[in-house]
Amino acid sequence: MPAHNATRKNSIWRLTDEYSLFYLTWIEPNRMTGKNVWLTKSSGQKWKSWCGYAFENLCLSHVPQIKNALGITGVLTKETAWQSTPTRTQNQGAQIDLLIDRNDQTINICEMKFTESPFVIDKRYARELQNTIAVFRQRTSTGKALFLTMVTAQGVKSNSHSQALVTNEVKLAQLFAD
């Protein structure tokens, strides 16, 4: 997937073959480590991080289903990722998993989160999301409407932060809906 307005220098690369990703992360480095290695490894932070990355890959391979869940299958779109690193004059950076840049003057900023229970947007994470949206708007100079879309495994827990920020929500089951 190309990065939004990317040059070759600031392109974003991602290994998308699920088996290769799993093999290189979990099987190859642990071939000679002995008994119960899987029980130990699958309960650690590295496993949780890998689950998040694998979930992002799953979502990126199901963009048509995300568009269907959003009700925008009839809208011409361009799907990209986006990142901006801090500079001397702008000390805030940001990264966006998936942008759905729509022909109807709207951009869905898709944030993908894998959790085993509904995802909670707390005060700290709400500030991160607000920062991401502000940095994107400022660095791209877009005048389009920006909709924060959460793509999650178990949904987003409703609270004051989610109600103030989230425009759309897509759940894992919708990626496999007919």
- As a whole number of angstroms, the distance between CA 84 and CA 132 comes to 9
170 vs 30, higher pLDDT: 170
Question: What does the mean pLDDT of the chain come to?
Answer: 87
Please indicate, yes or no, if residue 80 is contained in any of the structural domains.
yes
Q: Examine the pLDDT at 140 and tell me if it is beyond 70.
A: yes
**What is the domain count for the chain?**
1
Amino acid found at 32: M
- Domain residues for the domain of 127 are 58-175
Please indicate, yes or no, if residue 101 is contained in any of the structural domains.
yes
Q: Are 100 and 76 in contact (CB under 8 A)?
A: no
> Which candidate, 18, 16, 62, 56, places its Cα nearest to that of 176?
62
Contacts of 118 (CB under 8 A, 6+ apart): 152, 154, 155, 156, 157
- pLDDT of amino acid 32: 59
Please indicate, yes or no, if residue 72 is contained in any of the structural domains.
yes
Average pLDDT over residues 19-40: 67
Please indicate, yes or no, if residue 1 is contained in any of the structural domains.
no
pTM of the predicted structure, to 2 decimals: 0.80
The CATH code of the domain that includes 70 is 3.40.1350
